[in-house]
Amino acid sequence: MDFGSISPVLLLASLMVAATPLLLAATGELIVERSGVLNLGVEGMMITGAICGFATAVNTGSPLTGMAAAAGGGAALSLLFALLTQFALANQVASGLSLTLFGLGLSALMGQGYQGIKPPPFPEINIPLLSDLPFVGDILFSQDLMVYMGLLICGAVWVMLKYTRAGLILRAVGENHDAAHALGYNVVLIRVAAIMFGGACAGLGGAYISLIRVPQWTEGMTAGIGWIALALVVFASWKPGRVLLGAYLFGGVTVIQLNLQAAGVAIPVEYLAMSPYLITILVLVIMSADRSRAPGSLGRPFHASS
Amino acid sequence: MKLNKILTTAAMALGLATTAMAEEPTKVGFVYVGPVGDGGWTYEHDQGRLAVEEEFGDKVETVYVESVPEGPDAERVMTQMALDGADLIFTTSFGFMDPTVNVAKKFPNVKFEHATGYKRAENLSTYGARFYEGRAVLGHIAGSMTESNIVGYIGSYPIPEVIRGINSAFIHAREANPDVEFKIIWAYTWFDPAKEADAAKVLIEQGADVIFQHTDSTAPQAAAQNAGDVITFGQASDMAEYKPKPRVSSIIDNWAPYYIERVRAVMEGTWESTDTWGGIASGMVEIGEITDVVPDDVKAEALAIKDSIASGEYHPFTGPINKQDGSQWLAEGETADDGTLLGMDFYVEGLTGKIPQ
């Protein structure tokens, strides 16, 4: 056993990297579910965002343009889901599952010819002064832009839901779409907007994996993170603060368990390997003891005539 | 009269057509654990499938299902293939073993081939490659090249095949460099680029400057490239995109000749349940180009090890070798038998850490 070989600074830095894709995707899905829509297509939107971002970044040489394209790609795919569920009133669970399958296939097709290519490096930001702080400067203020973007989006969603009129309307639509409709809100339009926001966030999360965390393109490279994001939203009781906590906890325990394994700690590896899932669920379930519940209209189709 | 003639010709043509149709192509199914574009393990199996198509043309029809989880779902996929009329089904991951056994029982007329497993039946063969022979060659390069004396190893699941690879690489790394230490991370996945990249980064952060992987994606190669002064080895496939560095050599699985031979056996009706374990000698395991990053003398030594394994002169597990607890496994000059190798569940002396049970 050799704890000396684990550097806490590097550990915290890689924790933030491991948590960011999950945080982005889960925050997006949180908005979707808060508007009363269950989109199980997160994995499909993530992987589509991953290839859209990768291809654009490689072709333009600009990782930021790549990120924008990833958000666009994710949103475009989610629009398909919006058309199916909001206008054709298709079943949301089935539409979401098929969106994942479609996204996986589409991304494999789009990714032909992008295997083994190295994307342009993502610029690291050094926040002046703060990044020079001893110890914490390196961890907290010298990450890539998307780590802060993730935190920023999550924070903005929290403020939006809690303190703004727009947030109130979104929640009203999610809690009781008939009442919201009776008050004169355009339920379908609001939901489409929420779905597209969710798609864009998932796309960003996917591109974070293909452009920064790995970085390369491989078919199916999101490998189930979209599903974890979905579970995280539920265990976080549809609250942005808990999504943040859950994502960082999951990312953190993932990185820590790899570090502990490499350092040869005498904890059986199988326990270490399952610890990210176990600890995240445990903490969030204990926290949700305050009887938070799902949005009232979650997963129910809406038509103005009914 | 004329009409009659036309009708007769038409009938004859139709008759010919039906005879041609009756000679249906042999249908071969492949069940993959990852996507065909993983650039590693599944990619090479799919290359084998394409070689079968090229060899037999119209006489064969191949189907595959990719990214099949190891578990009950695999059984469903195989059953569907068998019901769709497959004559021969290759299942290409260790975790497909029990599902293959179960489905093979249900379809006695369909032939099954399971990669890297050990359970056989009348209609179920096993095949695998002696990857550990390749790992001996790469282990020598790793031991010679490391400057930090720390070699990182990303394992997938603690199964005999992976443990054999670790032992073989370690023995030969130690032979080249008595101070070398292995740090091992079990990823508990065959394919998850993000996790594989994380594991590689952690190993590099903890001082490793050589990374071995026994997982299927090229993500650890990308992580090593970003880190700078780290070398890696292609796994299952050449991973040539990462030449000349970090990837300095590779183990390539060449399944094509085996797949062609087995499909031909089914066509000719000579298929029998067998157990094949090919190595460097039979060409099933190839060593990819050793790049110029490796010094000439190390390269020459590595190639010498490869040649002596190929000629049968040298066995990668030749005594004296002790088990991790210090008890003797192989006496001086003794070589390991295949039975022990196939069920290998112990580390050799010098490796630290425990194998997860």
Pick the closest to residue A54 from A200, A222, A208 (CA basis). A208
* 8 Å CB contact of A259 and B37: no
* 8 Å CB contact of A261 and B186: yes
- Token pair listed for A298: 């979650």
What pLDDT score was predicted for residue A119?
Answer: 86
Asked whether residue B354 is assigned to any structural domain, the reply reads: no
* 8 Å CB contact of A218 and B193: yes
Domain enclosing residue B298, as ranges = 131-252+287-342
Asked whether residue B168 is assigned to any structural domain, the reply reads: yes
Asked whether residue B307 is assigned to any structural domain, the reply reads: yes
Q: How confident is the model at residue A4 (pLDDT cuts 50, 70, 90)?
A: low
Same domain (yes/no): B86, B15: yes
Q: Does A4 touch chain B (CB under 8 A)?
A: no
What CA–CA distance (Å, rounded) separates A69 from A199?
A: 12
For chain B, the domain total comes to: 2
**Percent of chain A topping pLDDT 90:** 56
Residues in A 21-50 with any Cβ partner in B closer than 8 A = 21
- Mutation pick from A261, A265, A271 vs chain B, by most beta carbons of B within 10 Å, is A261
By C-alpha distance, the chain B residue nearest A4 is: B206
Same domain (yes/no): B200, B334: yes
Same domain (yes/no): B263, B121: yes
By C-alpha distance, the chain A residue nearest B203 is: A262
* 8 Å CB contact of A221 and B222: no
Asked whether residue B356 is assigned to any structural domain, the reply reads: no
The structural domains of chain A, ordered by start, are: 3-121+146-290 (1.10.3470)
Beta strands at B150-155 and B181-186: parallel, antiparallel or unpaired: parallel
Same domain (yes/no): B32, B91: yes
Same domain (yes/no): B184, B332: yes
What pLDDT score was predicted for residue A273?
Answer: 80
Same domain (yes/no): B188, B114: no
Please state the rounded mean pLDDT for residues A231-256.
90
Contacts of B202 in chain A (CB under 8 A): 14, 255, 258-259, 262
User: Distance from B203 to chain A by nearest Cα, in Å?
Assistant: 6
Asked whether residue B162 is assigned to any structural domain, the reply reads: yes
Asked whether residue B324 is assigned to any structural domain, the reply reads: yes
What pLDDT score was predicted for residue B19?
Answer: 45
**A90-to-A80, A94, A303, B131, B221 alpha-carbon distances in Å:** 11, 8, 11, 50, 43
What pLDDT score was predicted for residue A136?
Answer: 66
Contacts of B39 in chain A (CB under 8 A): 115-116, 218
Contacts of A115 in chain B (CB under 8 A): 37, 39, 218, 241
- Mutation pick from B154, B185, B212, B347 vs chain A, by most beta carbons of A within 10 Å, is B185
Q: What is the CATH number of the domain that holds B178?
A: 3.40.50.2300
Q: pLDDT tens digits, residue range A109-152?
A: 998 888 778 888 877 766 666 666 666 666 666 678 888 899 99
Residues in A 203-222 with any Cβ partner in B closer than 8 A = 209, 213-216, 218-222
What pLDDT score was predicted for residue A3?
Answer: 61
Asked whether residue B49 is assigned to any structural domain, the reply reads: yes
What pLDDT score was predicted for residue A306?
Answer: 56
What pLDDT score was predicted for residue B21?
Answer: 47
DSSP code at position B326: S
Asked whether residue B353 is assigned to any structural domain, the reply reads: no
Same domain (yes/no): B217, B335: yes
What CA–CA distance (Å, rounded) separates B266 from B111?
A: 8
Q: pLDDT tens digits, residue range A69-123?
A: 999 999 999 999 999 999 999 999 999 999 999 999 999 899 888 877 888 887 7
Torsion region of B275: left, alpha or beta (phi above 0 gives left; psi -120 to 50 gives alpha): beta
What pLDDT score was predicted for residue A219?
Answer: 85
Pick the closest to residue B155 from B137, B170, B145 (CA basis). B170
What pLDDT score was predicted for residue B150?
Answer: 94
Same domain (yes/no): B274, B301: no
Same domain (yes/no): B223, B272: no
Q: Does A225 touch chain B (CB under 8 A)?
A: yes
ipTM over 0.85: no
What pLDDT score was predicted for residue B1?
Answer: 44
What pLDDT score was predicted for residue A278?
Answer: 86
What pLDDT score was predicted for residue B10?
Answer: 52
For chain A, what is the HEC assignment? CCHHHCCHHHHHHHHHHHHHHHHHHHHHHHHHHHCCCCCCCHHHHHHHHHHHHHHHHHHHCCHHHHHHHHHHHHHHHHHHHHHHHHHCCCCHHHHHHHHHHHHHHHHHHHCCCCCCCCCCCCCECCCCCHHHCCCHHHHHCCCEHHHHHHHHHHHHHHHHHHHCHHHHHHHHHHHCHHHHHHCCCCHHHHHHHHHHHHHHHHHHHHHHHHHHHCCCCCCCCCCCHHHHHHHHHHHCCCCHHHHHHHHHHHHHHHHHHHHHHHCCCCCCHHHHHHHHHHHHHHHHHHHHHHCCCCCCCCCCCCCCCC
Per-position pLDDT tens, chain B of length 357: 455 555 555 555 544 444 444 468 999 999 999 888 888 899 999 999 999 999 999 999 999 998 898 888 899 999 999 999 999 999 999 999 999 999 999 999 999 999 988 899 999 999 999 999 999 999 999 999 999 999 999 999 999 999 999 999 999 999 999 999 999 999 988 888 889 999 999 999 889 999 999 998 889 998 898 888 899 999 988 888 888 889 999 999 999 999 999 999 999 999 999 999 999 999 999 999 999 999 999 999 999 999 999 999 999 999 899 999 999 999 998 999 988 898 899 999 999 888 887
Please state the rounded mean pLDDT for residues A32-50.
95
Look at residue A265 and tell me whether its pLDDT is greater than 90.
no
What pLDDT score was predicted for residue B3?
Answer: 53
Burial per residue of B25-64, b for 16 or more beta-carbon CB atoms within 10 angstroms, e otherwise: ebbbbbbbbbbbbbbbbbbbbbbbbebbeebbeeebbbbb
* 8 Å CB contact of B193 and A262: no
Contacts of A213 in chain B (CB under 8 A): 194, 197-198
